[in-house]
C-alpha cells in the first residue's frame, strides 16, 4: 500500500495532528510522512476525496454473519467487504453460525476465513456449549485460538451459578464475559416493548424490568466474583443508571448500546414492519433520550451496529413470527453522525478496541496505516442502493442520515467505494 492522501482532516484525539488538514503519505502500509503539501511521487497513488476526514479505524463489538451454516443470510467474505466499505477496520463476530463457535476449531475457522481481508475478524466464543446455557464451553482453548470475549448472543444465562463460575474461571487468563440481560420468564412470549404502543397494536409486550432485573443480578455476581463483564445493547434508562452506579462502586463493568436504539423508538412499529423487530426491543422516546445521555456522559462505553442479517424468508412474515434483527454496518456512521458531535461518534466507534484487546494505532508517522476515510457533512436518505449486505433487513430504510464513508486503509490494503 503506497498512497498519498491529499488534504485530509485528521480526527484523532491521540494524534498530534488532531483537527489539522494535512497530506498523509503511506509506504508499504506504514505512515511515512504527515504534513502540508507533500510532494507527489511516481510510486505513490494519489487519493483526493471531497471533504476527506481520517480517523483511527472503527471497531464494531457485535456483528453477526451467517457463515458457517447460514450463508444465504451473509458470507464472511461479503460481510467483511461490507464492513470495510462501512468504515470498520475491525469487527467482533458473534457465535451465531451453525455450528455455534464454541471450540477452538470454530475460532480457527473464522480467523482463517478472514485471512487476506482488509477488515480484521475478532471472534467472540460462545460462553456455553451450543449457546444452550447448560455447560460452559472451552473458554481457555478458544482464548488461545484468538477469541476476544465469551458470550451467548442475545441469550441471557438463567443459571446464576454457571455465570458465577465462568466469571471466576476467566480471571486466570484475563477473559472478558459478555452478559446479555433479559429475564426469560419475565419476557415470556413478549416481542416488543411493553407500553402504550404495544397496547395499541395488540402485540405482546416485554417489560423493561426483564432487562433491568437481570442486570441487577449480574452486577451482584460481578461484585462477588471480581473479573470483568460487558453488558451489550442496554436499552432502558434504568439499565444505564444501574451501570453508572456499578462503575461508581468500582466494578469492572462496561456496556454498549446499539445504533438503532439511539436513533429509533417503538413508534416505528405502527406499520408492523418486521425490520423494526429487534432484541432488545425498540423503546419509547424517554428511554432513547436517556441512552443518548449515557453515551455523552461516558456511562455507555461504546456503540455497536449490532449487525444481524436475516434473509427474506425469516423477515417477510407476520410480525410475531419474524426473527429479530436488523443489519446496521452500512448505516451506523450516518445515523450516529446525525445525533452526536463528530468527536463523540469517533470515540464511541473506537473505544471498544481497548476493551476487547484489539490492536489500535494512532495516526502518526511510523505507525501502521489503519484508519477510516469519510466525509461527515454529506446528507442523504438511506435506501436499498446503500445496502451492501446479502440480506436487506435494514431498520434505517427511508431515514435521513448525515455522513458518507469512503472506506478504510487497513491490513496493508485500501478499500474504497467506487
| Close Cβ partners of 234 (under 8 Å, ≥ 6 residues apart) | 181, 211, 215, 240, 243, 255, 256, 257, 280, 291, 294, 300
8 Å CB contact between 332 and 61? no
Cell of 272: 408492523
Cell of 94: 458473534
Q: Is 311 a catalytic residue?
A: no
Grid cell 464451553 in the structure block, residue: 137
Q: Which runs of consecutive H residues, i.e. helices, occur in 234-376?
A: 237-248, 259-263, 285-296, 312-315, 329-339, 342-350, 352-355
Cell of 178: 459478555
**Half-sphere exposure of residue 280, counting CA atoms within 13 Å on the CB side?**
36
For residues 219 and 26, what is the distance between their CA atoms, to the nearest angstrom?
46
8 Å CB contact between 79 and 347? no
For residues 72 and 157, what is the distance between their CA atoms, to the nearest angstrom?
29
Q: Which of 152, 306, 311, 320 is catalytic?
A: 306
Nearest to 400 by CA among 351, 349, 339, 347: 339
Active site residue ranges: 306
Amino acid at each position: 500500500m503506497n498512497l498519498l492522501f491529499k488534504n485530509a482532516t485528521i480526527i484523532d484525539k491521540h494524534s498530534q495532528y488532531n483537527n489539522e488538514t494535512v497530506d498523509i503519505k503511506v509506504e508499504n502500509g506504514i505512515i511515512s510522512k504527515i504534513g502540508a503539501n507533500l510532494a507527489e511521487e511516481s510510486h505513490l497513488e494519489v487519493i483526493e476525496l471531497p471533504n476527506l476526514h481520517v480517523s483511527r479505524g472503527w471497531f464494531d463489538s457485535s456483528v453477526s454473519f451467517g457463515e458457517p451454516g447460514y450463508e444465504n443470510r451473509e458470507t464472511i467474505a461479503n460481510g467483511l467487504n461490507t464492513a470495510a466499505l462501512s468504515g470498520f477496520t475491525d469487527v467482533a463476530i458473534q457465535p451465531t453460525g451453525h455450528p455455534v463457535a464454541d471450540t477452538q476449531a470454530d475460532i480457527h475457522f473464522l480467523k482463517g476465513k478472514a485471512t487476506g481481508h482488509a477488515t480484521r475478524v475478532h471472534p467472540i466464543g460462545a460462553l456455553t456449549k451450543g449457546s444452550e446455557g447448560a455447560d460452559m464451553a472451552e473458554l481457555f482453548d478458544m482464548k488461545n485460538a484468538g477469541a476476544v470475549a465469551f458470550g451467548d448472543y442475545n441469550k441471557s444465562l438463567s443459571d446464576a451459578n454457571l455465570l458465577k463460575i465462568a466469571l471466576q474461571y476467566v480471571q486466570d487468563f484475563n477473559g472478558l464475559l459478555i452478559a446479555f440481560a433479559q429475564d426469560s420468564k419475565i419476557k415470556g412470549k413478549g416481542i416488543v416493548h411493553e407500553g402504550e404502543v404495544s397496547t395499541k397494536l395488540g402485540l405482546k409486550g416485554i417489560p423493561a424490568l426483564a432487562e433491568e432485573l437481570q442486570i441487577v443480578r449480574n452486577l451482584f455476581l460481578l461484585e462477588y466474583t471480581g473479573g470483568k463483564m460487558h453488558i451489550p445493547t442496554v436499552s432502558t434508562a434504568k439499565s444505564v443508571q444501574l451501570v453508572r452506579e456499578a462503575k461508581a462502586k468500582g466494578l469492572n463493568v462496561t456496556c454498549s448500546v446499539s445504533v438503532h436504539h439511539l436513533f429509533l423508538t417503538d413508534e416505528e412499529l405502527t406499520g408492523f414492519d418486521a425490520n423494526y423487530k429487534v432484541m432488545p426491543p425498540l423503546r419509547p422516546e424517554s428511554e432513547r433520550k436517556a441512552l443518548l445521555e449515557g453515551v455523552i456522559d461516558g456511562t455507555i462505553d461504546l456503540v455497536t451496529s449490532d449487525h444481524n442479517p436475516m434473509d427474506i424468508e425469516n423477515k417477510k412474515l407476520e410480525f410475531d413470527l419474524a426473527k429479530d434483527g436488523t443489519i446496521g454496518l452500512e448505516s451506523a456512521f450516518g445515523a450516529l453522525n446525525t445525533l452526536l458531535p463528530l468527536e463523540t461518534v469517533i470515540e464511541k466507534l473506537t473505544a471498544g478496541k481497548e476493551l476487547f484487546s484489539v490492536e489500535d494505532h494512532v495516526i502518526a508517522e511510523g505507525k501502521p496505516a489503519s484508519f477510516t476515510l469519510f466525509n461527515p457533512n454529506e446528507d442523504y436518505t438511506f435506501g436499498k442502493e446503500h445496502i451492501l449486505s446479502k440480506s436487506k433487513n435494514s431498520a434505517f430504510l427511508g431515514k435521513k442520515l448525515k455522513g458518507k464513508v469512503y472506506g478504510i486503509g487497513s491490513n496493508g490494503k485500501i478499500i474504497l467505494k467506487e
